[in-house]
Structure 1
Amino acid sequence: MDPPRLSVDGTVSLVEALELPHPATALLRAFILDAVDWDLAAEHVRSRIGSREEAHRLVSDWIYVVEAVSSNGVELEAPDKTTVREIMERDGNYRVHPVSITLHDPIQLKGSMALLGDHSRAGIDKVDPRFVGTHARLCKSVQLVNLIQTMAPELHKRNDDLLATAPAATTAPLVRVISRRRPFSLAWLFSRPIFFIWRLIPQALRFSAYEKLMRFGDYWYGATGASGIVAKLPFGLFLKYSANIECVRNEFNALGVVGKNTGVPVPRGLDFASKWVQGNRELLPQGYHRSYMLTSELPGAALSLCMDAISDADYQRIQLQIQAYVSQIREIPQTVNPDFVICDTRGEACRDPRIRDFAPIGPFKDEAAFSQELRFPDEPSRRGHKIVFTHADLNPRNIIVNQVKDATGTLRWEVSGIVDWEAAGYYPEYWDCTKSMFERFRWPRRHNDTMQRVFAEFGDYSAELKLEIEAWESGDGV
């Protein structure tokens, strides 16, 4: 499938700028990007979104179409024998063959459960490839329509008074979220002696056990994130693999620092083990460390997997939680290397995927020295910042969310944890803001705007973000 053309991207941007209540914007994105002809779909949408009222009607029309083929379709009952005989006596015994005016032959179906039967004797394939393709194109819209009943029921209305009950995406009331300290866990209290004894076992044996556990986790629980990188294990444990031992050491230390100094929910670092592997002459002539880190589990799933299921009000709640957590981690003092203020959590070299793919740089005495490693180092927006503790990769894959019941018994989404601290360290105060936009092209505008509002609480980093985007687009960070 070819990438969308500029006109398509422009139409999607126009739709997102309308700030329709979720999931209206996502539905129109799906209408365009899942269409057979993107340009034609984008042209139709552009002709129907002259105002928010028109856009709401278009969304309502698309909901009607999706429901017509996914849930509201009614199979006609076959006439009984008496009716058939009467029709034949009235009209004569002949068969009607409808003429299909189309560029493709129609899909042949037999019965109401066409996909479950074997019609090979009738010369009909089990599943026509176009049938699968049609369902694949509609599946995103079907999923979103199923969410509408509880999230935005007003989108079902198909009249001129639609906006009377359809608030804009940004008007939901904000509720102040109080961050909580890590709760006391009786299970953790009893498991501490077990892990203490486990860490007394020679590292080579623990490493061998982790290699087997990684394969077991992938087999038993399926791929978690990137298969072969992170594996879910029994008893609420996770195992993470890395070929960069310094990143593992930094993340293990970061989990301890954040857990000790803040109420930010993070996994507990339980153990890590590594083994030196002789390099390949062509690819890795110097060899490398294969490393595994064992951590506790956090409830929920990555925000990147749940975005469409989260209402605007809950997304604003998530915004406030992230804001509170960022505020806390910024208060962690730099005591590990006072002479080099920009460093990782252990006071050593920084390793960030945005800077030459985790190549070690620094540590640095000041921001000016750090900026020399970046493009446009002498720009005004590259200096004059506070140095603060930084996660350095706050993308939605690393923000864990979960559904919990509020005081009224209603299910709400909230942040249940932040993971992947391998790039954490002490950086200029804008770094978390701009890094959260590093993969902005992957995420809907609603999420990107949310992250911008998170960091607006701490300062105006628009100039820094503009310069960083220019640096990324010129090849910096790869």
Structure 2
Amino acid sequence: MLKGSGAKVRYIGRNQLIKYQCHPTESEAMEFVRKNTTIPIPKVFGVYNREDGSQDLVLELLPGSALNVTWQTLTLEEKSDLVTELAGYLLQLRCLQPRKEGFVGSLMLGSSYDHRLGGRRFGPFESIADFHKFVRRGDSMDLWNFDKDVTDVHNKSDSYVTKFTHADMSPESILVKNRKITGIIDWEFSGWFPEYWEYTKMYFGWRPYRGDFYHEMDKGITTYPQELAADKATLKVYDIWSYDIDRPRRSVDEGKWREWDVAMRR
């Protein structure tokens, strides 16, 4: 059921599993989504608190196989139908009302975790502008004048709204049986993020087999091509592990950036 986000999992019986050492924000998000949407997610049968602040979760084992396993066996029509179903669930998430306008962080207004931004928790942020500054590792916008996508996106931070976001909506997180979605799993990255984050995060960790998945998704949901380009640009300069140190490993250097850009295109 779980694709493996670093958490240890043990199956108990035929219909349950234990997911160990989860952050409390994961169970909070799952219960919130279950109560406020029709999205199929695992029931939380039990929560056991550890001394280190983490939790062991007893979860429902949902039927089905991960979409990355079954995607290539589906017809074009079946793929389109699944994407339409998924788009409806994403719309439900995006209709949830934020607890605080412009806030970026976990469901309950705390810190977040996302492997796109390193291996430790970050935030919360009172505004999307503050979040964008974190993505730039504190670098001034003046240092990004050579990249129109980054300057356009980060200079219009106030024009975005925050949406509740799963933030890992890859085929590995989607369970399917009989050509229907039976579950959306792995909610540890979820929280209130800029409206484009769900879209750009789908493209993080690109895999060849996801090519037509992206193509179908682009036909069924709101797309953010410039925001995706900006995210890719910042990722070239600040690798994910740079977020795990207290000071930026390097600041933007236009000449080096162009060297990296050429290398990435080879």
- Correspondence for 1:435: 201
> How is 1:222-371 mapped onto 2 (pairs within 5 angstroms)?
225-226=3-4, 229-242=8-21, 245=22, 247=23, 249-276=24-51, 288=52, 291-335=55-99, 338=100, 341-357=103-119, 359-371=120-132
Task: Indicate if the aligned counterparts of 1:340 and 1:363 stay in contact, CA closer than 8 A.
Answer: no
Given the superposition, is the C-alpha separation of residues 452 and 272 from structure 1 closer, same or farther in structure 2, using an over 3 Å criterion?
same
Q: Structure 2: any 5+ residue segments left out of the alignment? A: 142-150, 242-266
1:472 has 2:235 as partner: yes
- Correspondence for 2:259: none
Find the aligned partners of 1:354 and 1:317 in 2 and give their Cα distance: 29
Tell me the CA shift for residue 441 of structure 1.
Answer: 2.8
Deviations 1:89-121 (A, max 9, x none): xxxxxxxxxxxxxxxxxxxxxxxxxxxxxxxxx
Counterpart of 2:221, as a letter, is F
> How is 1:18-167 mapped onto 2 (pairs within 5 angstroms)?
none
Find the aligned partners of 1:385 and 1:396 in 2 and give their Cα distance: 27
Find the aligned partners of 2:91 and 2:54 in 1 and give their Cα distance: 34
Paired residue for 1:450, among 216, 225, 235?
A: 216
State the TM-score, normalizing by the size of structure 2: 0.77
Task: Indicate if the aligned counterparts of 1:395 and 1:439 stay in contact, CA closer than 8 A.
Answer: no
Q: What secondary structure, in the 3-state scheme, does the structure 2 residue paired with 1:370 have? A: helix
Given the superposition, is the C-alpha separation of residues 252 and 290 from structure 1 closer, same or farther in structure 2, using an over 3 Å criterion?
closer
- Correspondence for 1:380: 152
Given the superposition, is the C-alpha separation of residues 462 and 225 from structure 1 closer, same or farther in structure 2, using an over 3 Å criterion?
closer
Counterpart of 1:374, as a letter, is V
Counterpart of 1:473, as a letter, is K
Counterpart of 1:463, as a letter, is Q
Find the aligned partners of 1:442 and 1:344 in 2 and give their Cα distance: 31
Q: What secondary structure, in the 3-state scheme, does the structure 1 residue paired with 2:207 have? A: helix
Given the superposition, is the C-alpha separation of residues 235 and 370 from structure 1 closer, same or farther in structure 2, using an over 3 Å criterion?
same
- Correspondence for 1:462: 225
Q: What secondary structure, in the 3-state scheme, does the structure 2 residue paired with 1:295 have? A: strand
Task: Indicate if the aligned counterparts of 1:274 and 1:289 stay in contact, CA closer than 8 A.
Answer: yes
Deviations 1:290-312 (A, max 9, x none): 64211112221111111221111
Larger strand proportion of the pair: 2
Question: Which has the greater radius of gyration?
Answer: 1
- Correspondence for 1:390: 165
Find the aligned partners of 1:372 and 1:236 in 2 and give their Cα distance: 44
State the TM-score, normalizing by the size of structure 1: 0.44
Given the superposition, is the C-alpha separation of residues 442 and 239 from structure 1 closer, same or farther in structure 2, using an over 3 Å criterion?
farther
Paired residue for 1:400, among 175, 179, 184?
A: 175
Deviates more, 1:372-381 or 1:313-322: 372-381
Given the superposition, is the C-alpha separation of residues 345 and 224 from structure 1 closer, same or farther in structure 2, using an over 3 Å criterion?
closer
Aligned residues: 226
Deviates more, 1:312-321 or 1:377-386: 377-386
Q: What secondary structure, in the 3-state scheme, does the structure 1 residue paired with 2:68 have? A: helix
Tell me the CA shift for residue 228 of structure 1.
Answer: 7.2
Task: Indicate if the aligned counterparts of 1:303 and 1:396 stay in contact, CA closer than 8 A.
Answer: yes
Find the aligned partners of 1:386 and 1:340 in 2 and give their Cα distance: 6
Task: Indicate if the aligned counterparts of 2:3 and 2:173 stay in contact, CA closer than 8 A.
Answer: no
Counterpart of 2:132, as a letter, is S
- Pairwise CA RMSD of aligned residues? 2.3
Identity between Structure 1 and Structure 2 (%)? 23
Find the aligned partners of 2:140 and 2:68 in 1 and give their Cα distance: 33
